[in-house]
Chain A
Amino acid sequence: RKEVEQDPGPFNVPEGATVAFNCTYSNSASQSFFWYRQDCRKEPKLLMSVYSSGNEDGRFTAQLNRASQYISLLIRDSKLSDSATYLCVVPPGSARQLTFGSGTQLTVLP
């Protein structure tokens, strides 16, 4: 199993839709997880951190399932501005570096 795996998409959804992405990880020792957002031709930026079972920030909810070793990102009421690539990020047990997933591309359509 790869260290971090994501469905590359693309996910094309209409405005207002709810969309969810999953990310699986291989290192059971990982304690914290992150979702970064990368707009086209821009740098990645931190979107959300997940330290326990989950985290919610407005329309965005991140959940962690340690037993199955996956994290998910749910976006409700999608906006055009949500169009981006969403990167799942997992620190290894030593937390010396981050491992980035290959990203899930989301396009929200008018």
Chain B
Amino acid sequence: DTAVSQTPKYLVTQMGNDKSIKCEQNLGHDTMYWYKQDSKKFLKIMFSYNNKELIINETVPNRFSPKSPDKAHLNLHINSLELGDSAVYFCASSPRLAGNPEQFFGPGTRLTVL
């Protein structure tokens, strides 16, 4: 009965490859997010979706493409992986976009690009 789940937990891949990370939440939340946490532990928002609609798209290279098939899922596809993409990627969800900013995070996907 995990609230926010991500797969895979670990991902090791070569530069230039394309990979996807999946996220699902069973909390009935309207809003989902992708964050990147780098080696210095800085947690930065990448994307936010509200009811399957893209709301926030920070200055992220267009090699990163989020997809939300329904409001319980937000997947992240990354093309042409680079060394600098190595980080922990966290998915999160919240009940709504504003007014209650408590966010529930998934366990993270540790991506290593070789």
Contact = CB atoms under 8 A, between A and B. Distances in A.
Interface of A: 32, 34, 38, 42-46, 49, 85, 87, 89, 91, 94-98, 100, 102-103
B40 A96 contact: no
Interface residues of B, number: 21
A102 B102 contact: no
A95 B99 contact: yes
B107 A43 contact: yes
A49 B44 CA distance: 20
Contact of A43 (B44, B55, B108): B108
Nearest to B103: A98
Contacts of A34: 101-102
A89 B45 CA distance: 12
Contacts of B56: 96-97
B106 interface: yes
23 contacts: A34-B101, A42-B107, A42-B108, A44-B43, A44-B90, A44-B105, A87-B43, A89-B101, A94-B98, A95-B97, A95-B98, A95-B99, A95-B101, A96-B48, A96-B56, A97-B33, A97-B45, A98-B45, A100-B42, A100-B43, A100-B44, A102-B41, A102-B42
